[in-house]
């Protein structure tokens, strides 16, 4: 297509925004034939940083960059948006209780969901990156009653990509040899990277690597990779998070290749015992522009307990937001 696509990015002045926007301007999301209009949304404290990024985007002289604008008003930023990356969120600060964190983020993602509902393009697709990502996506979705629930998703592709990369490194193979991994549940330390259906080339992953490692140190390493990155580089994952968000959105629009699946946090339809309505990570394929949960995967006892534990955390987050009166039906 040669019609420009309008892409809104909240938190545009932050670390992930800085990594994401240049990839979008370069055409890494939709390919070399689709011009993009970038809307950079910030709060007043981040507006100058976003304006500086806007200058650098202009200086990139990207042939596909049709427009770039900075906004502090969500309605302006989301009007006619086809694609929305919700990256900006309220971080947890010292002394903040979990309920305070959920409340502060409901104050962001509720109004943003409403603005998307009222002003975005009819085909809008939304990915929430800002943490707690699954529950923030749930809040946005519940505030957008006129849009199909499936248009709201959250990022667990970074966890998925970490799971692929760490397994490939352990096995000493290229990442292209690794298939069939699923990350289930919440984007949090309770997430479950599941190798029970994974293969390395033609060999079952659990036959190729030590099973105790796969069910112990491996899960820990993937789930705590964010902390490992912070310890190593002194700031949190940014380029890898941006890259995963692009992978997620590109697969959503253009389709997952062949019979491969990936991991996506989606509004549950009740599959795999995950209560309907929760935003939880599933194995999914993108077919004709829609995510479809891969059916009929065998869940062994170990996997069942891990999935249930992460889903219990999602239920507790949902219930805490609902108890504050911040979750419309």
Residues 68, 58: contact at Cβ < 8 Å? yes
**Phi, psi values for residue 198, rounded to 5°:** -80, 155
> Cα–chain-centroid distance for residue 10?
13
Look at the block and give the residue holding tokens 């249930």.
Answer: 308
12 labelled binding-site residue: yes
With residues binned 3-state (H G I as helix, E B as strand, rest as coil), the percentages for the chain, rounded to 5, are 45, 20, 35
User: Looking at beta carbons only, is 62 or 109 nearer to ligand NAI?
Assistant: 109
284 beta partners: 262, 293
**Number of residues in the chain:** 329
38 is a site residue for ligand NAI (CB under 6 A): no
Q: Is 13 in the site for ligand NAI (CB under 6 A)?
A: yes
DSSP string over 71-119: ES-HHHHHTT-SEEEE-------TT--HHHHHHHHHHHHHHHHHHHHHH
Task: Give least dist CB 249 to ligand NAI, A.
Answer: 13
- Distant-in-sequence, close-in-space partners of 109: CB < 8 Å, separation ≥ 6: 86, 89, 128, 130, 136, 137, 139, 140, 143
Confirm or reject binding of residue 129 to ligand NAI (CB under 6 A).
yes
Nearer to ligand NAI, 13 or 113 (CB): 13
In the complex, residue closest to ligand NAI by CB: 14
Q: How far is the CB of 140 from ligand NAI (least distance, A)?
A: 12
Q: Give me the least distance between CB of 134 and ligand NAI, in Å please.
A: 9
- Identity of the residue, 86 or 200, whose beta carbon is nearer to ligand NAI in the bound complex: 86
**Residue among 88, 110, 185, 193 that touches ligand NAI (CB under 6 A):** 88
162 contacts ligand NAI (rule: CB under 6 A): no
Phi, psi of 260 (to 5 degrees): -70, 150
Pick the binder of ligand NAI from 124, 167, 241, 307 (CB under 6 A). Answer: 241
| Token pair for 80 | 């006619």
Site for ligand NAI in 173-192 (CB under 6 A): 187
The smaller minimum CB distance to ligand NAI, of residues 51 and 204, is found at: 51
Neighbours of 299 (CB within 10 A): 16
Q: Indicate if 160 belongs to the active site.
A: no
Active-site positions read 187
- Which residues of this chain interact with ligand NAI, rule CB under 6 A? 10-11, 13-17, 41-43, 45-46, 87-89, 91, 108, 129-131, 133, 155, 158, 187, 236-238, 241
Binding-site residues for substrate: 92, 98, 131, 162
């Amino acid at each position: 297509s040669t019609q420009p696509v309008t892409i809104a990015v909240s938190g545009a002045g932050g670390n992930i925004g800085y990594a994401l926007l240049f990839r979008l301007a370069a055409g890494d999301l939709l390919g070399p034939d689709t011009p993009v209009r970038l809307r950079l949304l910030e709060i007043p404290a981040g507006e100058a940083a976003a304006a500086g990024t806007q200058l650098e985007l202009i200086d990139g002289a990207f042939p596909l960059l049709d427009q770039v604008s900075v906004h502090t008003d969500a309605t302006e930023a989301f009007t006619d948006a086809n694609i929305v990356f919700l990256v900006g969120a309220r971080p947890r600060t010292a002394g903040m209780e979990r309920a305070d964190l959920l409340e502060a983020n409901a104050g962001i993602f509720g109004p943003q969901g409403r603005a998307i509902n009222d002003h975005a393009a009819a085909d809008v697709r939304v990915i929430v990156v800002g943490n707690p990502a699954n529950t923030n996506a749930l809040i946005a979705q519940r505030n957008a009653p006129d849009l199909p629930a499936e248009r709201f998703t959250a990022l667990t592709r970074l966890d998925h990509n970490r799971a692929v990369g760490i397994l490939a490194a352990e096995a000493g193979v290229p990442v292209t040899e690794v298939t069939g991994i699923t990350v289930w549940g919440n984007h949090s330390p309770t997430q479950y990277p599941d190798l029970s259906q994974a293969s390395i080339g033609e060999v079952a992953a659990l036959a190729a690597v030590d099973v105790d490692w796969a069910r112990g140190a491996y899960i820990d390493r993937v789930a705590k990779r964010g902390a490992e990155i912070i310890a190593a580089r002194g700031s949190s994952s940014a380029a890898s998070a941006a890259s995963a968000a692009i992978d997620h959105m590109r697969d959503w629009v253009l389709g997952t290749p062949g019979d491969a699946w990936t991991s996506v946090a989606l509004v549950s339809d009740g599959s795999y015992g995950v209560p309907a309505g929760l935003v939880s990570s599933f194995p999914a394929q993108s077919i004709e522009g829609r995510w479809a949960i891969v059916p009929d995967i065998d869940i062994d006892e170990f996997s069942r307990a891990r999935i249930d534990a992460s889903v219990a955390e999602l239920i507790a987050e949902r219930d805490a937001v609902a108890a504050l009166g911040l979750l419309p039906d």
